[in-house]
Structure 1
């Protein structure tokens, strides 16, 4: 039987027609699929075409003499697999006839790097028809992600085809397998190497990787995407230049060595192995992540690393939107301390750190809004973070949002465990921070002026709100706010933010002098269900009420 793999020097018109028909057959089948019914002539054509394709599969097993023949075999194999897949989808009676041949081809090429694209096509065939023959897809998918994609993730064509395969079969892979949740580190390595090309695809693919079990590990991987890119650059350069013989580098030697040299050190190789792992479930992160950041810092300006750092916040927002829609209280309880910890542990790229911290600070707000009790469960970590203005430098957005959340949600309205003792603990921490910020030079030297005024305003408001929920704190907050007001003009600062603080302090002081009214004006109403009989006037304004309160207080003093 003549086939497209029957290579010769001259071809007859019938043989040329044979090649043309083979190249057009898949298009004919797709067009025929849209029509109802099947004619006898079409059934005969499909039967003969199936026989022709099986013959081609046999020919592809023969060893090619020259490179050109090998390339022709790969191209024909691709078309044959796709063609057989189409025919089996249209006529399921062909599956028992075709499946053994496809399985034999898979067993032959599964370890061949040159056949990686055809392995994806075979996986597509197996996904479509494995149920008909009771075939377990698990080992084949695991082999592909661990042995093929992980080893060749820098191959552009393979990366694109693998991503497309996951997208097209996303529902099937999510419902019938766990590969997207199990091998998400491998997929994120694919993205880390080609972030600009695959960003749109991974925006759609990322939510399928997130579950209750994987959410925290996925978050760490997203925050470490530039680190993954830099580590992949290191491994690629070592493979190109050859491994170096290094043993037990001292910390001083590590600081002066190139990433390639450190990678060759057996003591530091596990850091790279973990960050470049292909399978999830081995641990969320590592204790020596800061060490790895220092090792790879020289690569922070590489174009690929910079592009990845720009794309990572986009995926981080997609991740947080996914978690926000489906997260349980248990997941939020595990997520909250990670957000606090990682806000100061990011790869040293300034624009990347700024954008990620902004995203994390926004996430902290909705996490606390959803589960206010986390401020009680994690009060030691929160109070430690807010214990000094030094912690403010470098993560201003996180600090400001957290201070606002403490003032807003540390209330028995949101959690019955919020006792006066806990409120007093938070109050003392905020009060000490406010005093230190206002009277020491530390607040003016290490904290930028534009942030210092904003932080002072947020802390003053949080302090007043906490005091309104514990009447014993009212005298202290009045004294504190009065001192802050007196110290601002004495400092002689030209900061325009001081004018704002001078205007806000009297409002808060007058509010705290009315203990019966202050809790109502200083707290947002808790969320109610749709059947609640409470009425909220959308035209009301807390600012207007505060101004009215201030006016009443002035009249009473006259």
Structure 2
């Protein structure tokens, strides 16, 4: 073997001495030259491509890794960079020395990164290490990154946009069947994670060290003692003495499960996010009432971009069963988002777009998810956010025929929910005619446009659903006739109901206008369906007059479909 720089023996002796010398056993980071020796030995092993050299370096390298791990809690300086170099050696030459790097990688995440994720140097080096080895990690250790995605999100949330570009390169590798669903609420709540980390820093000091680890370890015994004391004595343990009410409100209640859920390091499945807990409510309110920190503002920008990647990967790579399971979570979280105006708008826009894309990809989801969809329709007027969600669901129900021709029972139940929503609005609109002036004077008149918009979508969904499923046509006529007779306060709803009633008298035209779209999975068009793209070359005289821009009276000549279609 050729020693290219003449220091091979020196580096190997330095490594061997650090691996066995008791003076450095407690804190290997005290030797400033050790990092360079390990790094140089790794480079020499790559350059020489000698298995004998790798075999000589591996034993002291493995011992040094174990000593670094055991000394982390007593170390006065970081050993993260040293551990990353050793891990690189394990990944590069593990097959030669028969070393399984998976336990070593997990040890690094649990023992080192969980304590030092807030260190910008360690954070950047870790992301670079993961990016450099992402292909090997995905193929050889596919469960590693999905297991530790909460820790990686803490790292990116605390260090901000400067690491975002690099983090996005490994982000798809974080998604797996086991992490796909738990990852979604974690991304949505990225700003809350920043709020929780900042509260820990204010109450416990720097996050570099054992601050969060000590909170996580001490909470379970405290909660257990509190429950035992309450069960056996009927009393409760005080939260912090008689003067606890005068303490700084930024101190986290360690027994609050909401913060433990946000501060965890490993993926342990979907857990309930306690948005209604007192600790969470006070934390969100404090974040809104004080100037936003730079980290919080950066997280408000990063979360939508991370969701963009999440949804694009989901539509490209994730199977239908997981996407179907995600949609109810999406519906639930639509109303519980960090209450920043721009952030909530950007997130809800992406959530609704993904939901509609998922229904477009697999219309069967509408039938499979009829229960949560019906529940969301029942909450249509609880808040503006729920109104918008119900509106989009109405559009999807009508556009995809309640799941398609093969889901007649589900379509009937969805139709009944739309009927109920329509009849409730008809009855309330009659009462509302006498209360409009009161609503406007009290500042609540803004509800009327959203209500009318929703009613237009409900009427359209009823008409389209009846066009898909002809057995619902008589009930649809009754529903639309009631709207026409009730003459709601918004003329658009009344006019739309009349138009659809007229269309239903012309089955072929109705099927063309309200029937399955060109994206339908039907093998061939239904009989009588008009191909509107060929409208300029066809002639027909029997077209309902209400389509012709409300022209009255019979036409005096035949006309082409180009007279019906809007000109571009």
Q: TM-score, normalised by structure 2?
A: 0.77
Residue in structure 2 matched with residue 312 of structure 1 by the alignment: 303
Residue in structure 2 matched with residue 204 of structure 1 by the alignment: 169
Measure, in 2, the Cα distance between the counterparts of 1:414 and 1:454.
27
Q: Does 1:173 align with 2:137?
A: yes
Match of 2:93 among 110, 129, 153: 129
Q: What is the SS of the residue equivalent to 2:78? A: helix
* CA-to-aligned-CA distance 1:257-301 (integer Å, 9 cap, x gap): 86544424x3x1x33222111111x23122523325313111345
Runs (5+) with no aligned partner, structure 2: 223-235, 557-568
Match of 1:477 among 476, 479, 490: 479
Residue in structure 1 matched with residue 272 of structure 2 by the alignment: 286
Q: What is the SS of the residue equivalent to 1:391? A: coil
> Cα gap change, 1:528/1:463 in structure 2, threshold over 3 Å: closer, same or farther?
closer
> Cα gap change, 1:434/1:513 in structure 2, threshold over 3 Å: closer, same or farther?
farther
> Cα gap change, 1:532/1:377 in structure 2, threshold over 3 Å: closer, same or farther?
closer
Measure, in 2, the Cα distance between the counterparts of 1:394 and 1:278.
32
* Contact kept? 1:521, 1:546, Cα under 8 Å: no
* Contact kept? 2:200, 2:251, Cα under 8 Å: no
Q: What is the SS of the residue equivalent to 2:553? A: helix
Residue in structure 1 matched with residue 229 of structure 2 by the alignment: none
> Cα gap change, 1:530/1:336 in structure 2, threshold over 3 Å: closer, same or farther?
closer
Shift of 1:353: 1.7
Match of 1:158 among 122, 134, 158: 122
Q: What is the SS of the residue equivalent to 1:347? A: coil
Shift of 1:433: 5.1
* Contact kept? 1:393, 1:447, Cα under 8 Å: no
> Cα gap change, 1:203/1:397 in structure 2, threshold over 3 Å: closer, same or farther?
farther
Shift of 1:460: 2.4
Q: Does 1:422 align with 2:413?
A: yes
Residue in structure 2 matched with residue 464 of structure 1 by the alignment: 463
Q: Does 1:349 align with 2:349?
A: no
* Contact kept? 1:78, 1:118, Cα under 8 Å: yes
Moved more, 545-554 or 152-161: 545-554
Q: What is the SS of the residue equivalent to 1:555? A: coil
Residue in structure 2 matched with residue 8 of structure 1 by the alignment: none
Residue in structure 2 matched with residue 26 of structure 1 by the alignment: none
Measure, in 2, the Cα distance between the counterparts of 1:71 and 1:147.
15
Match of 1:223 among 182, 188, 202: 188
Q: What is the SS of the residue equivalent to 2:272? A: coil
> Cα gap change, 1:88/1:430 in structure 2, threshold over 3 Å: closer, same or farther?
same
Q: What is the SS of the residue equivalent to 1:194? A: helix
* CA-to-aligned-CA distance 1:191-229 (integer Å, 9 cap, x gap): 111222222122222111112221100111111111111
Residue in structure 2 matched with residue 184 of structure 1 by the alignment: 149
Residue in structure 2 matched with residue 361 of structure 1 by the alignment: 352
* CA-to-aligned-CA distance 1:372-417 (integer Å, 9 cap, x gap): 2222232222122212542342345433221211111234635434
Q: What is the SS of the residue equivalent to 1:288? A: coil
Residue in structure 1 matched with residue 226 of structure 2 by the alignment: none
Measure, in 1, the Cα distance between the counterparts of 2:299 and 2:427.
39
* Contact kept? 2:145, 2:173, Cα under 8 Å: yes
Q: What is the SS of the residue equivalent to 1:487? A: coil
Measure, in 2, the Cα distance between the counterparts of 1:540 and 1:207.
45
* CA-to-aligned-CA distance 1:404-449 (integer Å, 9 cap, x gap): 1111123463543446633532332342354267445499737545
Residue in structure 2 matched with residue 40 of structure 1 by the alignment: none
* Contact kept? 1:392, 1:399, Cα under 8 Å: no
Match of 1:336 among 327, 349, 355: 327
Q: TM-score, normalised by structure 1?
A: 0.78
- Give 1:393-404 correspondences, 5 Å limit: 393-404=384-395
Q: Does 1:106 align with 2:65?
A: yes
Residue in structure 1 matched with residue 56 of structure 2 by the alignment: 97
Shift of 1:355: 1.4
Moved more, 513-522 or 344-353: 513-522
Q: Does 1:55 align with 2:56?
A: no
> Cα gap change, 1:531/1:164 in structure 2, threshold over 3 Å: closer, same or farther?
farther
Runs (5+) with no aligned partner, structure 1: 1-42, 489-497
> Cα gap change, 1:450/1:158 in structure 2, threshold over 3 Å: closer, same or farther?
farther
* Contact kept? 2:397, 2:403, Cα under 8 Å: no
Residue in structure 1 matched with residue 261 of structure 2 by the alignment: 274
Q: Does 1:509 align with 2:493?
A: no
Residue in structure 1 matched with residue 231 of structure 2 by the alignment: none
Moved more, 393-402 or 178-187: 393-402
Question: Would you say how many aligned residue pairs link Structure 1 and Structure 2?
Answer: 494
* Contact kept? 1:333, 1:374, Cα under 8 Å: yes
* CA-to-aligned-CA distance 1:328-358 (integer Å, 9 cap, x gap): 2211221111011111122232322221111
Measure, in 2, the Cα distance between the counterparts of 1:446 and 1:85.
71
Shift of 1:365: 0.4
Residue in structure 1 matched with residue 562 of structure 2 by the alignment: none
* Contact kept? 2:181, 2:270, Cα under 8 Å: yes
